[in-house]
Amino acid sequence: MHTRSTVLFAAGTAAFGGFLFGYDTAVISGAIGYLGRVFSLGPVELGWAGASAIIGCIPGSLGAGFLSDRYGRKNVLMLSAVLYAVSAVWSALPNSFGEFLVARFIGGLGIGVSSMVCPTYIAEIAPEQHRGRLGTMFQISIVLGILVVFFVNLMIQRMGDEAWNEALGWRWMLGSETAPALVFCLLLLAVPESPRWLLLAGREAKARELLRRMAGDTMAEREIASVRAVSGSEEGRFVELFEPSWRRPLFIAIGLALGAQFSGINAIMYYAPEVFKAAGATTDAAFLATVWVGVVNLTFTFVATLFVDRLGRRMLLLVGALGQVVSLAYVGRGFLAGDGGIGVLVGVLGYVAFFAIGMGPIPWIVISEIFPGRIRGRATSAGVLAIWVGCLIVAQTFPALVAGIGPAWTFWVYTACSLVSALFVYALVPETKGKTLEEIELSWKK
């Protein structure tokens, strides 16, 4: 296979894990209203329905760090594909709310694994001058998965009346993930292992062969020399993250992760139809508006792809976070205006657009770049863990916040969190564009 084709196919396949990530996390948005009526769920139980997959993400992302450092990135990605498939089938066929929670927890394990390993794999195979652009493929795939499942949910919702949707529609929504999960399994059979992981595992001959296919002979030898220069002979340990050299990147990873989630993105992605209904929209209009959320999310993620290696990570994070502040403030105003949901829709679309160019894709790229190679899997899992902890808090508390302080004040809380994120980026996050992973690693030591 041609050099560029090898890299693009491998990165694209890993990014397809992001498609399943987005599909699995957002599929609940269409089903949750019907699920709540079928199982007679209150606000707290609805929170658990939305958060059940996220609970699985936490051990999934943590375990993936150790497993991918020990057994390789490709093998662990295959594990995530199997978990997605099992969850899709079971979550469509539960006989009780407890069974549903277990099925979604299994899907969450798959999300946690892929959310940690996919961006790490892409970062390790991508040339440094294109690493940002290839890294955004993961986020593009996430938002594409979200858009596709929003559209699938809309089509299924329109197949019958409310009674049909309560009986069968939500099951078809959740079970529709089975097909892409099987496609992911098949694609993974054809991708190579990460050459950098092979070098760290002592399999230099195989790593050299892959690097020559991906980058040519000269670049292959340079990459091998670079990895040797910064890696030790022993497998890294998680405790190394707390050494003085790595405290700042660890703090940056956790701060970006929590900042992205506390802006409230998953209040939109998990509960979008319910948000628009609360603002005065009809059921069909709410589902249609949710599709527009997916379209805007995908469109502006492509904008991030165009500029991430030109303007850099830091600039996009700052512009995105400040844009979120304005948009979320307008969402809160829209709820107070009582205009049938138009103001809320405009504010939500603006918020999603700014999230998609900054706090959506860029933290995944930065977290996958800033840690040393010998503990990259474990270290990345710490940042990804913070993402899922933040996501869990938002998904679990959103219904209760809306019931307690109202939707306007809920979104103003997210406004304040976005402002804090902008200040965090300005004060602490360095620029990493155009640097090799080894150059970034050495910069912390300096």
Q: Per the domain annotation, does 204 fall within a domain?
A: no
**In degrees to the nearest 10, what's the CA dihedral of 407, 410, 412, 416?**
-170
Q: Per the domain annotation, does 217 fall within a domain?
A: no
Q: Which domain holds residue 134?
A: 3-192+232-445
309 phi, psi to nearest 5 deg: -95, 0
The span from the CA of 285 to the CA of 18, in Å, is 28
Along the 446 residues of the chain, how does pLDDT read in single tens digits? Answer: 446 677 788 888 998 998 998 899 888 888 888 888 888 888 778 878 877 888 888 888 878 877 888 888 889 999 999 999 999 999 999 988 999 999 999 999 999 898 888 888 887 777 766 666 776 788 788 888 988 998 899 899 889 888 898 889 889 999 999 999 999 999 999 888 888 788 777 777 787 777 777 666 666 666 677 666 655 545 556 666 667 767 788 888 899 989 999 998 888 877 777 888 888 878 888 888 888 888 898 899 888 888 888 888 899 999 999 999 999 999 988 888 776 678 888 899 999 999 999 998 888 788 878 877 667 767 777 777 888 888 888 888 888 888 889 888 999 999 999 999 999 999 988 888 877 777 777 777 66
Closest to 81 (Cα-Cα) out of 208, 176, 185, 196: 185
Burial class (CB in 10 A: 0-12, 13-18, 19+), 42: exposed
Q: Per the domain annotation, does 200 fall within a domain?
A: no
Residue with structure tokens 């809160």? 332
Token pair in block for residue 311: 């303007």
Q: Per the domain annotation, does 250 fall within a domain?
A: yes
Q: Per the domain annotation, does 226 fall within a domain?
A: no
Closest to 363 (Cα-Cα) out of 251, 257, 246, 247: 257
Are 116 and 68 within 8 A, CB to CB? yes
C-beta atoms surrounding 74 within 10 Å: 20
**In degrees to the nearest 10, what's the CA dihedral of 33, 37, 42, 43?**
0
Token pair in block for residue 345: 């829709």
> How large is the greatest C-alpha to C-alpha distance in the chain, in angstroms?
66
Q: Per the domain annotation, does 82 fall within a domain?
A: yes
For residue 324, what pLDDT is reported?
96
The span from the CA of 131 to the CA of 356, in Å, is 18
Are 113 and 220 within 8 A, CB to CB? no
Are 341 and 285 within 8 A, CB to CB? yes
Angle between helices 437-445 and 244-262 (to 10 degrees): 120
Are 178 and 27 within 8 A, CB to CB? no
The span from the CA of 336 to the CA of 348, in Å, is 14
CATH assignment of the domain containing 434 = 1.20.1250.20
Are 48 and 57 within 8 A, CB to CB? no
Buried b (16+ CB within 10 A) or exposed e, 14-27: bbbbbbbbbbbbbb
The span from the CA of 80 to the CA of 75, in Å, is 9
Q: Per the domain annotation, does 414 fall within a domain?
A: yes
Q: Per the domain annotation, does 147 fall within a domain?
A: yes
What's the domain count of the chain?
A: 1
Angle between helices 204-215 and 3-38 (to 10 degrees): 100
For residue 233, what pLDDT is reported?
46
Are 90 and 103 within 8 A, CB to CB? yes
pTM of the model: 0.71
Closest to 422 (Cα-Cα) out of 331, 315, 328, 329: 315
The span from the CA of 300 to the CA of 354, in Å, is 8
Closest to 267 (Cα-Cα) out of 20, 25, 23: 25
Which DSSP string corresponds to 122-146? Answer: HHHHS-GGGHHHHHHHHHHHHHHHH
Token pair in block for residue 62: 């943590």
